[in-house]
Amino acid sequence: MATSKITALTPLASFMWKDTAATTTVVTVTGATSGSLLQVDLDNQVGSAAVFLKMTFPSSGTPDIGTTAADMKFYAPAGKRIIYTIPQGIPLAWINGSGQLYYWLSTSNTESSSAAPASGEEPTVRITLTA
């Protein structure tokens, strides 16, 4: 997993979070405690299985895979890239009041699953936010 925070050169977004090999490990998106979620780009073109990007904004603590319910889920079928755009954005502070964004990935839609994509088939995740 290689993550990076990239400053956005656009009047609409402040930065993009990029994860070039998303897995079932919980990732904290640094700098995402205020502002709005504008876009989720889930690139699963290398994957032979569908994937679900699960996001949560817990009121306290770090989420626990298998017990923490996702607040939002984004789906990408095998071999496809899907871009979800939220034109007016979702204010991070609206969701559970914490504003801190966490995500993880699974090949299953169920909350209790921690099924990971096959090695070498990890999708790229890009999350675009305002500050």
Extended strands (E) in 1-131: 3-7, 15-19, 27-28, 36-43, 51-56, 72-76, 81-91, 102-106, 124-129
Quickly count helices (H) and strands (E) in the chain.
Answer: 0, 9
Residue 5: predicted pLDDT: 66
Q: Residue 39 is part of which domain span?
A: 3-129
The pTM assigned to this predicted structure is 0.85
Kindly state the tokens that stand for 87: 């034109």
How many other C-beta atoms are found inside a 10 Å radius of the C-beta of residue 111? 14
Q: How confident is the model at residue 121 (pLDDT cuts 50, 70, 90)?
A: very high
pLDDT tens-digit profile of 39-74?
999 999 999 999 999 998 877 778 888 888 888 999
Number of domains in the chain: 1
* Cβ 69 vs Cβ 102: under 8 Å: no
* Cβ 86 vs Cβ 41: under 8 Å: no
Residue 82: predicted pLDDT: 98
* Cβ 104 vs Cβ 24: under 8 Å: yes
Q: Taking 60 as the threshold, does the pLDDT of residue 9 lie above it? A: no
pLDDT tens-digit profile of 73-116?
999 999 999 999 998 888 877 765 666 888 999 999 887 778 88
